[in-house]
C-alpha cells in the first residue's frame, strides 16, 4: 500500500519558519478593513510557533468571504463548495492522521447550507480544527441576513426586518457533542493566537467561533463589546480553574444559581467566594451551555476563551484501530482468499 500517512520521517526536526514562509504568493483580496485580515495574520504568525510542517498542514474551506482563506496560506489547501468543507475534511483527516487539517468557514457556510456536516463532524469528533468567522451577515452575496443575524435585521433580503431566531454557534456546537468549544474575536490578535493554539492542540474536533467585523455589510456588529473602549467591561475572559470575573478591577463576576442558570453580578455585592470557578474539563456540557448563553447578543457582557475542552475518542483513530484489530485477527487482506470466501466450486 502507498503509505502517505506514514511517509513522514519523524527523525528530521521541523525547520524553523517565519510568518513569511506560511504566506502564499497570492494577493489577498478581501475588502480593505475586513476583519479577515487580522485573523489571517494571527494564523500565519501562530504557525511558526506550533512547530508543524507546511507540507503536513491543510486548510479546507467552503464558499464565502472566509472561504478564500486557503489561497493565502502557503500550505496544501482546498477551496471547495458551499457548506461541505467539514465533510471533505472528514475524508481527509480519517485517511491521513499525519496531517493537521483546518477548516475555515463562515456563519452562512457552516450554520446554514452546511449545518448538517458541521454538527456531524463535531459529534464524530473528527480530528480537525474549525475556525468559524461569524460576522452575522452574508458578505460574498452582498448583504443578506444570515443564521446568526439578530431578529428584525434589515438587510437587502429583509427590508422589513428578518423574522428568524438566530443560532447561537457555541450552544449549537455544545449540543452537537463538541469536545472543544471556544470563542475569540478579530480585534485581539494575542487572544486569537492563544485560542487557536489551544484548538490545534486538542485531539478531535475543535470549534472556534471568531467574532469578525464585516466593515461593508455589517460594520460594527461587535463594536459594542470588542471595541477598545468597551472590551474591559464587556468581554468576560474564561480562565480554567479561575473565578470568572471581569472589569478594570475585576469588579464584575459570574455566579451560578441553584436552578442552574448563570448571571453577571457585582463582586462587591456577593463576595469573591460566590463566583463561579471555570472548569473547561467538566464532562457535563450543561454549564458551558449556560455560559454560551450568558449574553443574548454582542451588546451584553460576553464570555470569550475556551468554554469546553474534554477528551473523547477521536474518529479517525478509532477507524484505524478497527483496521488494525481486523488485520491482527485475520491477517493482512488476501485477495485470492476473499474471492473464495463464499462457496466456490471447480469445473474441470
Partner 1 sequence: MSDTTTDPKPHQQLHRVVIRFAGDSGDGMQLTGDRFTTTSALWGNDLATFPDFPAEIRAPAGTLAGVSAFQVHISDHDISTPGDSPNVLVAMNPAALKANLAILPKGAAIIVNVDAFEERNLAKADYETNPLEDGSLSAYTVYEVPMTSITTEVCKDAGVKPRDAERSKNFFALGLISWLYTRPIEVTIGWIGEKYAGKPLVMEANLRAFKAGYHFGETAELFESSYGVKPAVLEPGEYVNITGNTATAWGLIAASVRSGLPLFLGTYPITPASDILHELSKHKQFGVRTFQAEDEISGIGAALGAAFGGALGVTTTSGPGLDLKSEMMGLAISLELPLVIIDVQRGGPSTGLPTKTEQADLLHAMYGRHGEAPLPIVAARTPSHCFEVTVEAVRLAVKYRTPVIVLSDGYLANGTEPWRLPDMDGLPTIEPDFAAGPNHTDADGQAVFWPYVRDEQTLARPWAPPGVPGLEHRIGGLEKADGSGNVSYDGVNHEKMTRLRAAKIAGIAHDIPPTDVDGEDGAEVLVIGWGSTYGAIAAGVERIRARGYKVDQAHLVHLNPFPADLGKVLGRYRRVLVPEVNTGQLSRLLRAEYLVDAISFTQVEGVPFRAEAMEAAILRQIEGVAAGSPGDPGVDGMATSHGKASD
Output the smallest distance, CB 134 to partner 1, in A. 22
User: Among 83, 88, 78, which Cα is nearest to 109's?
Assistant: 83
- Give the Cα separation of 120 and 124 in Å (integer): 6
**To the nearest whole angstrom, how small is the minimum distance from the Cβ of residue 264 to partner 1?**
37
Q: How many CB atoms lie within 10 A of CB 153?
A: 21
Pick the closer one to partner 1 by CB: 108 or 253. 108
Closest separation between CB of residue 155 and partner 1, Å? Answer: 26
Task: Please say which residue, 73 or 192, places its beta carbon nearer to partner 1.
Answer: 73
- Cβ atoms of 228 and 187 within 8 Å: the answer is yes
For binding to partner 1 (CB under 8 A), which residues are involved? Answer: 1-2, 4-5, 7-8, 24, 26, 53-58, 60, 63, 70-71, 73-81, 84, 87-96, 98-99, 116-117, 120, 319, 322-323, 325-327, 329-333, 335-336, 338-340, 342-348
What is the spatial distance between Cα 318 and Cα 320, in angstroms, rounded to a whole number? 5
As given in the structure block, the three cell numbers for residue 133 are 468567522
Q: Kindly give, in sequence order, each residue whose CB lies less than 8 Å from that of residue 95, ignoring residues fewer than 6 positions away.
A: 5, 316
Our CB check for partner 1 shows the closer of 129 and 155 to be 129
How far is it, in rounded angstroms, from Cα 88 to Cα 227? Answer: 36
Separation CA 273–CA 219 (nearest Å):
40
Residue with cell 444559581: 257
Q: Name the residue nearer to partner 1 (CB basis): 165 or 346.
A: 346
Comparing CB distances to partner 1, the nearer of 307 and 315 is 315
Rounded least distance, CB 22 to partner 1, Å:
10
| Residue 73 Cβ vs partner 1, minimum distance, rounded to whole Å | 8
Cβ-based nearer residue to partner 1, 80 or 105: 80
Taking the complex as a whole, the smallest distance from the CB of residue 162 to partner 1 amounts, in Å, to: 27
325 CB contacts (<8 Å, ≥6 apart)?
none
Amino acid at each position: 500500500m502507498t503509505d502517505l500517512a506514514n511517509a513522514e520521517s519523524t527523525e528530521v526536526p521541523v525547520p524553523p519558519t517565519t510568518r513569511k514562509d506560511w504566506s502564499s504568493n497570492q494577493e489577498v483580496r478581501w475588502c480593505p478593513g475586513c476583519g479577515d485580515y487580522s485573523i489571517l495574520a494571527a494564523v500565519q504568525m501562530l504557525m511558526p510557533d506550533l512547530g508543524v510542517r507546511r507540507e503536513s498542514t491543510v486548510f479546507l474551506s467552503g464558499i464565502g468571504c472566509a472561504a478564500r482563506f486557503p489561497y493565502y496560506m502557503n500550505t496544501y489547501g482546498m477551496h471547495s463548495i458551499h457548506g461541505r468543507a467539514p465533510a471533505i475534511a472528514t475524508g481527509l483527516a480519517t485517511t491521513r492522521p499525519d496531517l493537521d487539517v483546518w477548516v475555515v468557514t463562515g456563519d452562512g457556510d457552516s450554520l446554514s447550507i452546511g449545518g448538517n456536516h458541521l454538527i456531524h463532524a463535531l459529534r464524530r469528533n473528527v480530528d480537525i480544527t474549525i475556525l468559524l468567522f461569524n460576522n452575522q451577515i452574508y458578505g460574498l452575496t452582498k448583504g443578506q441576513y444570515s443564521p446568526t443575524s439578530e431578529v428584525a435585521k434589515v438587510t437587502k433580503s429583509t427590508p422589513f426586518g428578518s423574522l428568524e431566531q438566530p443560532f447561537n454557534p457555541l450552544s449549537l456546537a455544545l449540543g452537537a457533542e463538541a469536545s472543544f468549544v471556544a470563542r475569540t474575536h478579530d480585534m485581539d490578535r494575542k487572544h486569537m493566537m492563544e485560542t487557536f493554539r489551544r484548538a490545534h492542540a486538542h485531539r478531535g474536533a475543535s470549534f472556534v467561533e471568531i467574532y469578525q467585523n464585516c466593515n461593508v455589510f455589517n460594520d460594527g456588529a461587535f463594536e459594542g463589546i470588542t471595541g477598545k473602549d468597551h472590551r474591559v467591561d464587556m468581554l468576560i475572559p474564561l480562565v480554567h480553574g479561575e473565578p470568572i470575573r471581569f472589569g478594570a478591577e475585576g469588579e464584575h463576576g459570574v455566579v451560578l444559581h441553584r436552578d442552574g442558570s448563570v448571571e453577571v453580578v457585582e463582586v462587591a455585592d456577593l463576595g469573591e467566594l460566590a463566583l463561579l470557578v471555570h472548569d473547561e474539563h467538566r464532562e457535563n456540557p450543561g454549564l458551558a451551555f449556560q455560559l454560551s448563553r450568558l449574553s443574548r447578543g454582542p451588546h451584553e457582557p460576553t464570555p470569550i476563551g475556551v468554554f469546553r475542552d474534554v477528551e473523547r475518542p477521536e474518529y479517525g483513530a478509532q477507524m484505524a484501530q478497527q483496521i488494525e484489530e481486523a488485520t491482527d485477527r485475520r491477517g493482512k487482506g488476501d485477495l485470492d482468499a476473499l474471492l473464495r470466501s463464499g462457496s466456490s466450486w471447480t469445473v474441470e
